[in-house]
Structure 1
């Protein structure tokens, strides 16, 4: 018969080793941050959201252009400094900010404004849980020269009127496995149609429709448009 005391000793050693690993080797907690570039006349940007590593080079760092969006993992439950650096002049930081998100959080940081007046609008993505044949739309107005703009679609969505930097929550809309189609009109306060946008509603998913650009762009090439930002 094996020595019962030796067996007990081995069991206790294993228990304490397991306890030590669970305390010292815990997994880092993270949150999800999507960044949307809606800054009019703001250059393409490097998004620096971690400390520089020894082998960091701007040439190998992805950039974020106007109307583009990217998702970044950030450390949860702590201040995360984020710098937005001009991609053609990497000595120029056009905006610095901090985000502190709880573990498992999903948020979107919208870069908004124009020229040198760039700012960040942070929204938590309170995503809908969908039934079969439904999806979610959220609307936000980031046209810096607008007063109030209205979303309205041909399938009974809206009218939803939003001032600059105003947003709705996600709202449930009909969708099918083949993706229901929606045709939006964006109108000013007088009811004039400024632009249109057609999109599908991906079943079970949540999508943000963002108005960007200028109502009166002159010859600057920043015409009003709608971009689609897909969430989870």
Structure 2
């Protein structure tokens, strides 16, 4: 009787082999809202003894995908952008309000400042003394208020036909130009007086030409 020989093969333990793949390769074929964050692939190989010239393999692969909720992220980004815009707008409004408060404060302080006019001896607001009516004026600041300057020019234009009207400021010999006189009379809403003054000067000028001829 032939004797049967039995060969016992002892299966070896599973050998894990971990394969990592880049996210760009994995995400290339997926829509944006289903692109994977992480991919894990594990292979198990069940090997027998190589000396038996028989190899039995068993490979299992596990895929673990985690998807981004792109819609939620977009909404979150939108809220974040809106918050940034609101913060910028609030900062802008705060700066504008701050400038308005400073401007209002300066206006209030200017309204409280007064100066005594050397002609009428009244305390007038400081803005009654601002500006100059002639480039020839040498004084650094005015001491005659706008009201007194207008009244002075008005009296001179009504009673004389003098083209050389001098600035009423003390120790100032600057001559007001034709445009300066018109501006001052217009300031008092008295253009009719200026037109009469213009006609008188023109007539006087023509008389001088006829006498010369």
Larger RCO (CA within 8 A; separation ≥ 6):
1
Higher Rg of the two aligned structures: 2
Instruction: Kindly indicate which of the two structures has a greater share of residues assigned to helix.
Output: 2
Please indicate, yes or no, whether the TM-score normalized by the shorter chain is above 0.5.
no
Instruction: Kindly indicate which of the two structures has a greater share of residues assigned to strand.
Output: 1
Bin the TM-score by the shorter chain: under 0.3
TM-score by length of 2: 0.24
